[in-house]
Structures are given as structure tokens and as C-alpha cells.
Amino acid sequence: MKERQSLMTEQERVPIQAYKRMKEIMTTYYGIAKMSEGTDQKIAWITSGGPVEILYAAGIIPIYPENHAAMCGATRIADELCAAAEERGFSRDLCSYARTDFGSIYTKKSPVPGGLPKPDLLVCCNNICDTVTKWYQELQRIFDVPLIYIDAPYQYGDDRPEAIDYVKAQLEAMIQSVGEIVGRPIDRDKLDETLEISERAAALWREIQGMLAHRPAPMNSFDTFIHLAPIVTLRGTELCIEYYELLRDEIRQRIEAGIASVPGETFRLGWDNLAIWYKIKELSEKFAAYKTALVVSTYPEGFCYQAPEHLRDPNDRLRTMAATYMGGYINHGLDYRERDLLRMVKQFHLDGFVMHSNRSCRAYSFGQYELAKALMEKHDIPTLMIEADMNDSRAWSDEQVKTRIEAFIETLAARRN
């Protein structure tokens, strides 16, 4: 299939206005954090899957190296930073997020003016991958600050109650340790309030993503990757709720006005794995050129994961928190992932899936070929495999990806005829 010569113009595609507010929020967030460096205000670096509510309840500013690395990828300085880390002895086989952030530390280059503020504390939770364990140990050696580690056991089959108890005990220990670091016990009422705010924010993000089941989709996966930032960095704050209420109301208005993310939407796809940050605009335009909307992604959905109802205890908010942080798509086995992908196909009326076989994220990419095979052979759901890296563009091939997308769209079109 020859690629259509004229991509949709900006006049045809109506941009999401809330994005302006998100940029303001994130600029302010990083600005306040940077100005707090060297003061009595405590700063923690934390993994994206870490229990940030405890930090907010203690009055600590959380900073997310993964979010910063994604910004470096989107602004196309990640290759330079990865190379700087490799010059220091870090293997190219390591996570490109980690290499990006190590390179930023060494070179002082960052999309954040002055770079990220130095941490007083590190918090690492391995529910997203085990690479973060060694990553944060290295950060501890660099900054010589305390490291709190939360081990979230990988779940095969149903989530195990004893595993939840294990995570809850670690959260209790974290509460104790953070209180010692800030010099005062964490107020449990404040923590409960923060957890409630966090749950409300996650519910809003779930609602927004659920609205993308509408045909045509009012927003696509490339948009949700961008609008993910507040639920990652500000989860547990009123500002996070404020932003997602704004975005939700705009998505509702787009649905009522019949505004499509991809005008003339013909095919609907899901996306598995992280975004390819340095190609996010080009991929959005390429799929849109074929009237194809990517309407749901496993990664943004991971930040509104809710533990099964029978594992949530309204009288024990901390245990519910443990059940939530232990779970999620990436911390479950392939049977769970297959069921979740099928759920997305049905809920979002998908014609197929795009799977990003991510060179950096083995925890996410492991088993994708088996999942793709299961989707096609057992459920007759086509999949497109794109081999790349979330941040390191040296693993990207324009011609290979272009050819695969064109062939995949041809397959979808043939199935319609």
C-alpha cells in the first residue's frame, strides 16, 4: 500500500487544549523542586511504580527519574546522554532510561533548567521491573543518601493474600523510615487523606481512558502517553485531581461535538509497552495517515490499576494500597496479560494490537511474541510487532517500521473486505 501523500493538517485535527495547563503544571512542579534543592525541604527520587503517597504525606517532594528520562527522549537528547553513560562503563544493553539519567548526572544536560535537584532519599519499588534495583543502588553510591526498597512479588495466576501482607509490612517499615528521615512521625490521618486523593485521581484517569472506547475516539494513545505525567508525578495531590477533571471535561465535550482524534477513523488499535518517545509525533502522524487510531495502551492503563475488589479493604487503606502497588499489568504473568489484552479488544472495539518490542524494557517485552501468537491463533486478533527502544534512537529503523506498518494496514483492510 502506498502511503497517502497528504497527512491530515492541523486544521483537520483539533488539538487537546488541556495540554497547555499540563505544561504549566509540570513546569511549576520541576521549578519548585529545583528551588528547594539545598534547603530544609526534603526531596526524594522514586520509581514510577513507587508508593509516592507516603512521601506526599510526609511533606517530601518526589522526583521521577523515569519521567525525566522520557522528557529527554522526547526532546531528543537521550542518545547523547546514553553515550555519556556508556563512556563511564555502563553497557548499552542496560535500560535506556537509566543510561539517560546517569548521562544527565554526569554531563549536567537536561530539559529541566539546571537538571534534577539532588535527592535526600531514594525510594525504589520493583513492581515495574527488577532493573530499577541495580539502578537505584548505583544512585545511592552516587549521592550517598538512604535507599528504601519495596519488593513487590511477581504474580502468577491470582494475586496471593500472603504477598499482599508482605508488601503491606514493607509499607509500614517505609512509613517508619520516612518519619525518621524528616524528623517526625507521619500523621496517619494525613496519609489516609493522601491515599483517598490518590484513589480519586486514579479513578479519574480510568474514567478518561474508558471514554476512548467511544467511536470515533476523542483522544489516542499517543495523547495519553503525554497526559500521563500528572498521574505519575502528582498522584496524591489535589492538583492532580484538578488537572484530570479539566481533561475529562474536555474529552466529554469532544465526544459531544463529534471531534475525533483521527478524523475519518477506520481502524482502531491497542498499543503494548512504553512509548517510543523520540518518534511519538511521527508515529501518530503515520497511523493517522491511514485513518488508524491507537485508542488504548497497557502502559497508561497501568497507572490507574485497581486491585480486585475482594483484595481491597475499606477498613485497611494501607493493605488496599499494598494490593494495588503489588499488581498491575507488568507485574503479572502471561495468562493475566492475555486476558487483559482481550478485555481491551472488546472494551475498545479494537481491530488489532501494536506491540513495541522494547530493547530496554525486558520485563515488559518478555513474552510479547507468545502473546502475539496467542492473540492471532486463539482469538484471530492481528498484531504488529515494532522492534525499537523507548529512548535510544540508535535501535530504530525508519524503513523497517514503515514497511511493517504499511503491511499491517493492508492486512487489516483485507480482513474488512
Q: What is the pLDDT of residues 336-384, one digit of tens each?
A: 999 999 999 999 999 999 999 999 998 899 899 999 999 999 999 999 9
In this prediction, the residues of the chain whose per-residue pLDDT falls under 70 are: 1-11
Q: What's residue 157's pLDDT?
A: 85
Of 190, 384, 156, 400, the C-alpha closest to 273 is: 384
State the pTM of this model: 0.94
Place of cell 505544561: 23
User: How far is C-alpha 96 from the chain's CA centre?
Assistant: 15
Q: End-to-end distance of the chain based on CA atoms, in angstroms? A: 15
Could you tell me if 278 and 254 are in contact, meaning their C-beta atoms sit under 8 angstroms apart?
A: no
Helix (H) or strand (E) holding 268: strand 267-272
Q: What's residue 12's pLDDT?
A: 76
User: How far is C-alpha 185 from the chain's CA centre?
Assistant: 31
| Residue type for position 58 | A
Could you tell me if 383 and 353 are in contact, meaning their C-beta atoms sit under 8 angstroms apart?
A: yes
Could you tell me if 237 and 190 are in contact, meaning their C-beta atoms sit under 8 angstroms apart?
A: no
Helices assigned H by DSSP within 76-130: 78-87, 96-107
Of 186, 228, 229, 184, the C-alpha closest to 318 is: 186
Distances in Å between the Cα of 319 and the Cα atoms of 265, 314, 324 are 43, 9, 9
Of 328, 358, 362, the C-alpha closest to 125 is: 328
Give CA–CA dist 1/94, Å, rounded: 37
Q: In 10 A of CB 343, how many CB atoms?
A: 11
Question: Can you say whether the dihedral through the CA atoms of 125, 131, 134, 137 is positive or negative?
Answer: negative
Q: What's residue 130's pLDDT?
A: 86
Q: What's residue 6's pLDDT?
A: 38
3-state secondary structure of 270: strand
Could you tell me if 51 and 321 are in contact, meaning their C-beta atoms sit under 8 angstroms apart?
A: yes
Could you tell me if 36 and 61 are in contact, meaning their C-beta atoms sit under 8 angstroms apart?
A: yes
Give CA–CA dist 242/240, Å, rounded: 5
Q: Say if strands 292-297 and 352-358 run parallel, antiparallel, or are unpaired.
A: unpaired
